[in-house]
């Protein structure tokens, strides 16, 4: 299982965010996306999820381009973005169960996912009463129920306390041991053996001087 990008360039609002970007991710690998604000970390993740199309270059999964195979590609992804995707009037478990059903996750792992992020006591609480950190944990608990091999995480540690960060890193390690792949945009350096760092600042377009 491999996921790679070749020569990627992305255009947002007539501005090149990054260009000539390439990466390679193998089974069990983790790619940490670092870079200043606006360097295109989120954009790259959204590109990999197929929300955006690359301006140039291509994305390959197992050596096969993902363009035109989006249905297949969507099934391989678990995406956690900036927003927590929780419905305020649904309880935490209702929210989680819905997303698991929608993305073909394992609904039987609900208990496990809740416990993992210390959400057990909050399981029947409507999401509107959760704090920012609890909402983030509820969103990340989706990962524990997902069967997707490729996780795309956009600053997953935002609003998390130290204990929850550790739990998240454990979960990510387990996913990698099981052969999964992770791409994570982060400001906080995640110490993990065998992870590669991709600094997006290196692919910023060269300023043209007139």
Partner 1 sequence: MTVFWAVVRRDLLLAFRQGGGAGMAVAFFVVTVTLFPLGVGPEPNVLARIGSGVVWVSALLAALLSLDRLFQADLEDGGLDLLALSPEPLEIIVLAKCLAHWLSTGLPLILVAPLLGLLMGMSSAGIGGLVLAMLLGTPALSLIGAVGAALTTGVRRGGVLLSLLVLPLYIPVLIFGVSAVEAAATGLTARPHLLILAAMSLFTTVLAPLAAAAAVRLSME
Q: Which of 7, 58, 65, 82 binds partner 1 (CB under 8 A)?
A: 82
Does 15 sit near partner 1 (CB under 8 A)? no
Contact call for residue 71 and partner 1 (CB under 8 A): yes
Is residue 90 near partner 1 by the rule CB under 8 A?
yes
3, 18, 61, 99: residue in contact with partner 1 (rule CB under 8 A) = 99
Among 38, 65, 104, 205, binds partner 1 (CB under 8 A): 104
Measured at the CA of 136, the angle between CA 132 and CA 157, to 5 degrees, comes to 105
User: For partner 1, which stretch binds (CB under 8 A), given 58-66, 94-102, 156-164, 185-193?
Assistant: 94-102
Q: Which part of the chain contacts partner 1 (CB under 8 A), choosing from 18-26, 83-91, 115-123, 197-205? A: 83-91
CA separation for the pair 200, 38 (Å, rounded): 10
The mark string for 140-179 relative to partner 1 (x by CB under 8 A, - otherwise) is ----------------------------------------
Residue ranges that bind partner 1, judged by CB under 8 A: 49-53, 71, 74-75, 77, 79, 81-90, 98-99, 101-104
């Amino acid at each position: 299982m491999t996921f790679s990008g070749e020569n990627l360039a992305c255009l947002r609002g007539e501005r090149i965010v990054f260009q000539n970007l390439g990466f390679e991710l193998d089974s069990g690998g983790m790619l940490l996306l670092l870079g200043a604000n606006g360097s295109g970390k989120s954009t790259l993740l959204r590109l990999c999820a197929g929300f955006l199309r690359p301006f140039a270059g291509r994305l390959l999964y197992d050596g096969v381009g993902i363009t035109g195979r989006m249905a297949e590609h969507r099934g391989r992804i678990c995406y956690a973005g900036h927003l927590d995707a929780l419905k305020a009037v649904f309880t935490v478990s209702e929210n989680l169960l819905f997303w698991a059903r929608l993305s073909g996750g394992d609904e039987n792992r609900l208990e496990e996912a809740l416990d993992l992020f210390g959400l057990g006591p909050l399981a029947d609480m409507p999401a509107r009463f959760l704090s920012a950190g609890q909402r983030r944990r509820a969103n990340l608990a989706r990962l524990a129920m997902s069967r997707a091999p490729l996780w795309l995480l956009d600053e997953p540690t935002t609003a998390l306390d130290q204990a929850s960060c550790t739990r998240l890193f454990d979960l990510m390690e387990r996913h990698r041991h099981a052969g999964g792949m992770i791409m994570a945009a982060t400001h906080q350096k995640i110490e993990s053996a065998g992870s590669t760092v991709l600094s997006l600042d290196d692919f910023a377009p060269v300023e043209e001087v007139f």
